[in-house]
Chain A
Amino acid sequence: AQTVTQSQPEMSVQEAETVTLSCTYDTSESDYYLFWYKQPPSRQMILVIRQEAYKQQNATENRFSVNFQKAAKSFSLKISDSQLGDAAMYFCAYRSSATQGGSEKLVFGKGTKLTVNP
């Protein structure tokens, strides 16, 4: 079974600075997807960024980028120019590739609480 580990329960960053959230995972599969979701106090889980394992290029979405190290099974999220609205719980999630006929469920880590200080 796949597992996802987020080793930082809490992180803080100054507004306009850069912060990196860590995520590692364990799998024997070669093709899969990785996600970062953001959950603000409003509770709604919002997709931040997605990475396909077969793509070597790291995904980027505006101020959010990932460092995907497949061999190390590491998938960190970098937030640049942090804003007050970035404060939230951040969850790393794994999903098997549906094309392999595997599980399509999301497996989540326990989350990292990000505080942004003005």
Chain B
Amino acid sequence: DAGVTQSPTHLIKTRGQQVTLRCSPKSGHDTVSWYQQALGQGPQFIFQYYEEEERQRGNFPDRFSGHQFPNYSSELNVNALLLGDSALYLCASSETGLAEETQYFGPGTRLLVL
């Protein structure tokens, strides 16, 4: 049973560029959440996708956008990159409808903005 996978593992961009990160959920999961983890901090919720729609959003600017595909995989897009966007981006998947709805995380994508 494949767990949550993310690509790429590492990425280096320059300010002003755009980046796309990808996530495939755990088998049987239909919901994908994205988190940003700055160095030395706990993860911060960016947004969550279910049924190909953004269901919930954290306190992040519109430069952060996403998409969910019919196979439940998801993309996170960040436009006009800032130095402060450098972080570990974590994807988590879960199954909506379960009371416990535990989120399982992927290995993350480390983004460095120069």
| Contact between A44 and B107, CB atoms less than 8 A apart | yes
Contact of A98 with B33 in the complex, beta carbons under 8 Å: no
B100 touches A50 (CB 8 A): yes
Cα(A111)–Cα(B92), bound, Å: 18
Task: Write the nearest CB–CB distance from B105 to chain A, whole angstroms.
Answer: 4
Which residues of the partner chain A approach B96 to less than 8 Å between Cβ atoms?
A: 98
**Max count, chain B CB within 10 A of own CB: residue among A37, A45, A95, A108:** A45
Asked whether A105 and B58 contact (CB < 8 A) given A42-B107, A44-B105, A45-B43, the answer is yes
Q: Is A99 in contact with chain B by the CB < 8 A criterion?
A: yes
Q: Please, could you name 28 A-B residue pairs with CB atoms under 8 Å apart, sorted by A?
A: A4-B42, A35-B102, A37-B105, A43-B107, A44-B107, A45-B90, A45-B92, A45-B105, A46-B105, A50-B102, A95-B101, A95-B103, A97-B99, A98-B96, A98-B101, A103-B56, A104-B31, A104-B48, A104-B94, A104-B101, A105-B33, A105-B45, A105-B48, A105-B56, A106-B33, A107-B45, A108-B43, A109-B42
Collect the chain B residues with CB atoms within 8 Å of residue A37's CB. Answer: 105
Say yes or no: A43-B88 contact (C-beta < 8 A), given A97-B99, A103-B56: yes
Nearest residue, chain B, Cβ from A91? B42
Is A104 a contact of B108 with CB atoms below 8 Å?
no
Q: How many residues of A contact B (CB 8 A)?
A: 27
Inter-chain contact B108/A43, CB cutoff 8 Å: yes
- Given the known interface contacts A105-B58, A108-B43, the answer about A44 and B100 at a Cβ–Cβ threshold of 8 Å is no
Report the separation of the CA atoms of residues A98 and B102 in the bound assembly, to the nearest whole angstrom: 11
**In the assembled complex, A47 has its CB within 8 A of some CB on chain B:** yes
Is there contact, CB below 8 Å, between B43 and A106?
A: yes
B108 and A47 contact, CB distance less than 8 A: no
Min CB distance B71 to A, Å, is 21
The 5 residue pairs across chains A and B that have the minimum distance between CB atoms: A108-B42, A45-B105, A105-B45, A44-B107, A43-B108
B25 within 8 Å of A by Cβ? no
CB neighbours (8 Å) of A110 from chain B are: 40-42
Would you call B99 and A98 a contact (CB within 8 A)?
yes
* Nearest neighbor of B104 in chain A, beta-carbon distance: A47
What are the residues of chain B within 8 A of A107 when measuring CB–CB? 45
